[in-house]
Amino acid sequence: MLDVMSLSYPFQTLLLGCVTAPTRRYFCRTRWCHVQATPPSSVILNADESGKFSEKIHATNLASGKGVPFATQGSTVGIIGGVSVDATLKFLRKLVELSSEDGGNSIPFVLCSDPLFSKELLSFERSYFVSSTSRAENLKLDSSPIVESLRNKRVFLENSGASCIVIPCNVSHSWYEQVCEGCSVPVLHMAECVAKELKEAKLKPLEAGSPLRIGVLATNATLAAGFYKEKLQNEGFEVVLPDRATMEHTVIPAIEALNRKDMEGACNLLRIALQVLLVRAANSVILASDDMRDLLPPDDPLLRKCVDPMDALARSTMKWVKSSEHNL
């Protein structure tokens, strides 16, 4: 089952819980219940519009590092929600399914979900213009409020008892180094999890004598941040990115079609973008976008060539949990 406690405020939702291998039907039922849950008498935190936590009722301010942590188990996972609440819930579902595979020990977690922050991230992604200039010139948009909010959430989770922190959101990793600076617990990097799994898979080049090529399909903001390219190159892969024409004529129109609820158009455009990368002899393509991840039907042959970073992050999280429990 999934035991949860939800603390809901105008600007912030905190979800505490323990994952113990339910059926998918039960999880979906609980997913709706926790949103409507009534905060208990031990309500602790509120958040203002800047994302900072303040004292509430008789409790202490964990965001400032004071007070008793919520979670006391050494394998507690802290989760920072991102652009999409659905993507965050999908990540939790993956943890549930993975925990059920071996009979399932509980996975204690603390989830910080912030609707205003999600809107801010989405606005950043959509405002990111198409450009072939350098990363430094591309990042003209002011991301300091996003970084501050991410850091506040990281500190809160750290002080609430999380022994490991994960961020199931691609674009949030654009500021990974700034957010993790000074953190006392490991923060798993989604792109690093993907790159290590691909390395362990011992793939063979599609063409004899050629390097192993991995394609990356993502939004402009995620591609410009460059962390997928960096992590993959660190593991010895050659990285294949969509060129400007592919972005302008397939990827961006696909996302625009998705926003218009034109699912068929979005799906067809995504297929074209994937085929363009695969034609360039990419062994696999990383679908590094919350928008694109669920566009293709489960039986689509192209999915066999795709990598979902959320899967890799969930598997790496489970490995960390098992390792942490083993070392207790």
CATH number at residue 212: 3.40.50.1860
Determine phi and psi for 79, rounding to 5 degrees.
-125, 125
> Is 82 in the same domain as 156?
yes
> Is 88 in the same domain as 164?
yes
> Is 145 in the same domain as 250?
no
| pLDDT value, residue 70 | 59
User: What b-and-e string marks burial along 142-171, b requiring 16 or more CB atoms within 10 Å of the CB?
Assistant: ebeebebbbbbbbbbbbbbbbbbbbbbbbb
| pLDDT value, residue 140 | 59
Domain containing residue 126? 77-189+311-318
> Is 141 in the same domain as 159?
yes
> Is 213 in the same domain as 159?
no
In a domain, 27, yes or no: no
> Is 159 in the same domain as 242?
no
> Is 108 in the same domain as 132?
yes
In a domain, 225, yes or no: yes
Q: Which two tokens stand for residue 275?
A: 């085929």
In a domain, 266, yes or no: yes
Determine phi and psi for 218, rounding to 5 degrees.
-160, 180
In a domain, 19, yes or no: no
pTM for this prediction: 0.79
- Domain count within the chain: 2
> Is 304 in the same domain as 202?
yes
What are the strands, taking DSSP E only, across the chain? 2-8, 13-19, 45-47, 53-55, 77-80, 107-113, 164-166, 213-218, 238-240, 284-288, 306-307
> Is 266 in the same domain as 295?
yes
| pLDDT value, residue 168 | 95
Q: Which two tokens stand for residue 303?
A: 């999915």
| pLDDT value, residue 1 | 39
In a domain, 35, yes or no: no
In a domain, 92, yes or no: yes
In a domain, 53, yes or no: no
Residue pair 124/156 in contact (Cβ under 8 Å)? The answer is no
> Is 232 in the same domain as 293?
yes
Phi-psi bin for 67: left (phi > 0), alpha (psi -120 to 50), beta? left
In a domain, 251, yes or no: yes
> Is 177 in the same domain as 244?
no
Q: Which two tokens stand for residue 59?
A: 């409790």
Tens digit of each residue's pLDDT (9 = 90 or more) over 317-328? 999 998 877 665
> Is 251 in the same domain as 185?
no
| pLDDT value, residue 207 | 75
pLDDT less than 50: residues of the chain = 1-13, 18-49, 51, 53-60, 67, 130-139
